[in-house]
Chain A
Amino acid sequence: MRTRVPAYLRIYRFLRRTEWPLLILAAAILAAGTAVQWSVEGLDQFPDGHLIRVAAAVAGCILAASVPSRLWHRHAFGLYFLCLIALFGVLFLGRATNNARRWIDLFGGFKLQPSEFTKIALILVLARWFGERPKPSRLSDLFFPGFLTFGPALLILAQPDLGTALSFVPLFFGLAYIAGTPWRVLRWCLLLPLFVAPIGWWTLKDYQRQRVDIWLRQDQLTQEEKSDAGYHLWHSKLAVGSGRLHGFGWGQGPENRLDRLPERHNDFVFPVVAEEFGFFGATGFLLLYASLGFAALFGSLRYRDPFTRYAIAGVGLHFGTHLVLNVGVTLGVWPTTGLPLPMVSWGGSSMMVSGLALGGALAVGAGKEPVFLAHAFRD
Chain B
Amino acid sequence: MRTLRILHLAAVMAMLLVLLVLRLAQMQIVQGESWQEEARRSRLHKRAIPFHRGRILDRQGRVLARDRRSYDLMFEYRSFRRGHVAGQLLEAYALLGQTPYGLDGCFQHAEKMAEGMLQWRPSQLRVLPSRSRRDLVFYLRRLFGMPSTDALLEWIESGSGRLADFHPAAQQHFTQRLKAAREAESRLRPWLAQAFWQGYGLENLTRPSFFAALEQERQGLERLIRLKALRMAAGRAMALTAYEVYLLLRKPEQESLSPNELLEAEQERQVFLTQLSRSWGLRDDQASRAELARRLLGRLPDLEQEGDGTETSDIIQRQILESGALLRQVEMVVPEHLAGVRRRLMLEVHRNRVIRLAKNIPFDLVDLLTQNPEAFPGLYTEENPIRDYPASVAPHLVGMVRSASSEDLREYLDLREAYQELRGILERTPQEEERFRRLRDQLFRMVLRPGETRGRSGVEISFEEVLRGQRGYLEVLEAGEENATPKELEFQAPRHGRDVQLGLDAELQRAAEMAIVQGYQHARRRAQLDPKLARLAVPEGLLQPRCGFALIDLQDGSLLVAATSPSFTVDDFRQRYDEIRQPGGPLRQRALGGHYLGPQAPYPGSTFKLVVAVEALSQDRTQWHRMRECLGYYQPKNGKRGLYCDRRAGHLDVAMEEAIMRSCNVYFYKLGEELGYEALYRRSQQLGFGEPTGLRLTQTVGEEGSWQFGGPNAGLERGANFLTEPQFARHSLSPLHLSIGQAYVQASPLQMARFFGWLGTGKLWRPRLVLAAGDTDFAADFQSPAYPDWMRDLLNQAMRGVVEHPFHGTAYDAQFPLAEFFVAGKTGTAQVGGNSEDPRFRVHGWFAAYWPHYEPRFSAAILCENSGLHGGDIASLVLYEFLKSPAMASYQGQLPPPPAPEEPSQ
A interface residue numbers (CB < 8 A to B): 41-42, 45, 49, 97-98, 105, 109, 111, 174, 177-180, 206, 219-223, 226-228, 237-245, 254-255, 257-260, 265, 274, 278-279, 282-283, 286-287, 290, 293-294, 297-298, 300-301, 309, 313, 317, 320, 323-324, 327-328, 331-333, 374-375, 378-379
Contacts and interface: CB of A to CB of B under 8 A. Distances in A.
A297 B13 contact: yes
Interface string B214-254: 00000000000000000000000000000000000000000
19 contacts: A42-B482, A178-B9, A219-B426, A223-B423, A227-B344, A227-B347, A240-B27, A241-B28, A241-B32, A243-B32, A245-B32, A254-B40, A265-B150, A279-B25, A298-B6, A313-B9, A331-B20, A333-B20, A378-B1
Given A227-B347, A279-B24, A324-B13, A180 B39 contact: no
Given A243-B28, A244-B36, 9 more contacts: A109-B158, A180-B2, A220-B424, A227-B347, A254-B39, A279-B29, A328-B20, A331-B24, A378-B1
Nearest to A346: B150
B35 interface: yes
Closest 6 CB pairs of A and B: A241-B35, A244-B32, A242-B36, A242-B39, A279-B28, A238-B39
A296 B889 CA distance: 107
A244 B37 CA distance: 11
Nearest to A260: B43
Contacts of B420: 223
Given A45-B148, A238-B39, A283-B24, A98 B2 contact: no
A274 B6 contact: no
B19 A333 contact: yes
B422 to A, nearest CB: 11
Given A178-B6, A221-B424, A244-B36, A286 B1 contact: no
Nearest to A379: B1
Contact of A177 (B5, B14, B340, B480): B5
Contacts of A332: 23
Contact of B21 (A42, A243, A283): A283
Given A97-B157, A221-B424, A297-B9, A333 B29 contact: no
Contacts of A293: 13
Contacts of A111: 158
B130 A97 contact: yes
Interface of B: 1-3, 5-6, 8-10, 13-14, 16-17, 19-21, 23-25, 27-29, 31-36, 38-40, 42-43, 129-130, 148, 150-151, 157-159, 336, 340, 344, 347, 420, 423-426, 478-482
A293 to B, nearest CB: 6
Contact of A298 (B10, B336, B482): B10
B10 A294 contact: yes
B148 A258 contact: no
A138 to B, nearest CB: 18
- Most-contacted residue by chain A among B42, B157, B336, B347 (CB, 10 A): B42
B424 A237 contact: no
Given A241-B38, A286-B24, A258 B9 contact: no
A57 B42 CA distance: 38
Main secondary structure of the interface of B (DSSP, over half): helix
- Most-contacted residue by chain B among A222, A320, A378 (CB, 10 A): A320
Nearest to B151: A49
A283 B20 CA distance: 9
A222 B424 contact: yes
A89 B420 CA distance: 49
Contact of A244 (B6, B29, B336, B479): B29
A187 B617 CA distance: 113
A254 B487 CA distance: 13
Given A242-B35, A255-B39, A297-B9, A98 B17 contact: no
Nearest to A312: B6
A245 B29 contact: yes
Given A258-B43, A301-B3, A324-B13, A240 B158 contact: no
Given A227-B344, A286-B17, A378-B3, A258 B28 contact: no
B424 A244 contact: no
A178 B2 contact: yes
Contacts of A226: 424
- Most-contacted residue by chain B among A111, A254, A379 (CB, 10 A): A254
B13 A290 contact: yes
Contact of A241 (B36, B423, B480): B36
B2 A331 contact: no
B24 A282 contact: yes
A63 B862 CA distance: 111
A238 B43 CA distance: 11
A324 B17 contact: yes
A258 B478 CA distance: 8
Contacts of B347: 227
Contacts of B38: 238, 241-242
B17 A174 contact: no
Contacts of B21: 283, 286
A257 B487 CA distance: 14
B479 A317 contact: no
Contacts of B42: 238
Nearest to A96: B126
A294 B10 CA distance: 7
Contact of A375 (B3, B25, B36, B159): B3
A317 B21 CA distance: 19
Contacts of B151: 49
B28 A282 contact: yes
Given A111-B158, A244-B33, A278-B28, A228 B20 contact: no
A228 B344 contact: yes
A317 B9 contact: yes
Contacts of B29: 244-245, 279
Contact of A294 (B13, B33, B36, B426): B13
A97 B481 CA distance: 26
A223 B234 CA distance: 22
Given A244-B29, A324-B16, A331-B23, A297 B35 contact: no
B16 A259 contact: no
B483 to A, nearest CB: 9
A116 B883 CA distance: 102
Given A180-B1, A290-B17, A333 B23 contact: yes
A313 B12 CA distance: 14
B32 A324 contact: no
A258 B35 contact: no
Contacts of A317: 9
Contacts of B3: 301, 374-375, 378
Given A242-B36, A293-B13, A331-B20, A180 B5 contact: yes
A189 B19 CA distance: 24
A223 to B, nearest CB: 5
A239 B569 CA distance: 58
A244 B28 contact: yes
A242 B41 CA distance: 11
A241 B27 contact: yes
B31 A241 contact: yes
Contacts of A255: 39
Nearest to B9: A174
Nearest to B477: A254
A226 B43 CA distance: 13
Nearest to A317: B9
A115 B654 CA distance: 122
Nearest to B130: A98
Contacts of B426: 219
Contacts of A283: 21, 24
A219 B159 CA distance: 42
Given A178-B2, A237-B35, A228 B340 contact: yes
A313 B6 contact: yes
Contacts of A109: 158-159
Contacts of A309: 2
A376 to B, nearest CB: 10
A224 to B, nearest CB: 8
Contact of B39 (A241, A286, A328): A241
